[in-house]
Amino acid sequence: MEKKLSNKVAVITGGSAGIGLATAKLFAAEGAKVVITGRKLDALNNAAKEIGHGAIAVQADSSNLLDLERLYKTVNEKFGKIDVLIANAAVYILSPLANFTEEQFDKQSNINFKGTFFTIQKALNYLNDEASIILLSSIANTKAMPGHSSYSATKAAIRSMGRSFAVELLPRKIRVNVMTPGPIDTDVLDQVTSTKEEASSMKAGMAQFTPVKRLGKPEEIAAGLLYLASDDSKFMLGAELILDGGIMSL
C-alpha cells in the first residue's frame, strides 16, 4: 500500500518527546523525510535515533529568529523544500493569576505565541506550494481552567493565527489547520509538578475530567496530525481538529 507521506519533507518543532516524537515516528514510517527540532541537543539526538528512517535533528529554539533561519537553511540544503510543517514547540507554565511572574509570562509568550508565529513566517520561502501547515493548540483555547490564564491565551492566539495564515496562504494553495488536543499522557505534567506522586495525582484528575475517563495517547494525536498532513484532508483548511476525549462536546 502507498505510504501517505512518501518522499515528503516534514519538519516538526518540539520533536524530541511527547506528541512531537510520536508524530515524527509515524511520519517517518509513512515515508516522510523527517527533521525534528528542540532546545536540548542530547534529547534531540536520542530521539532521531529512535525515529530512524534517516531522520535528522537540528537544535533550534523556536523563539529565536536566527535559530529558525538556520533551521530552514539546513533543511533546504539536506532535503529541499518543505511539504509538511508542524508547529508543536511549546511550554506549559501554570500558576494562579496573583502569583504569575513577568519572567513566566515572557517565556510562555515567546515560545508559544511568538515562536509559533515566526516558525511559520520564517518558513515561507522554504515551503512548497500546496504544503500542509499544522499548528498545535489546546482545548485551553476556549476552556477556562484555574492557573491557565497565560497558557490559554497563547493557545487561543494559535487558533486565531491558524485562520489568518490560512487565508493569507490560500493563493499558494498552502493549507493551514489547527490540532487541538485535550489532556495527553506525556512527561509535560512532570515538569509542572514537584514529585512523581503529584504528577500521578494530576494525571488521574485530568483523566476523570474527560468523558472517556482517561488521558489521550501521543500516538492518537499523531494519527490526527497524519490526517492533516496528508492528502486525505485536502478539502480542510483554516479548521480545527479537536481530539479531547469528548471534553468540549459532552
Residues designated as active site:
151
Residue whose C-alpha cell is 487541538? 180
Encoded amino acid at 241, one letter: L
- Grid cell listed for 139: 482545548
Residue 56 contacts residue 71 (beta carbons within 8 Å)? no
97 SS3 class: helix
Residue 240's H or E segment, with its range, is strand 240-243
Find the angle CA(38)-CA(183)-CA(102) to the nearest 5 degrees.
60
Contact status, residue 96 vs residue 147, Cβ threshold 8 Å:
yes
Distance CA 146, CA 153 (A): 13
CA atoms within 13 Å, Cβ hemisphere of 105: 10
Show Cβ contacts of residue 104 under 8 Å, excluding neighbours closer than 6 positions. 93, 95, 150
How buried is residue 105: exposed, middle or buried, by Cβ count under 10 Å (0-12/13-18/19+)? middle
For cell 501554570, the residue is 94
Residue for grid cell 515567546: 110
The rounded distance, in Å, linking the Cα atoms of 144 and 52 is: 39
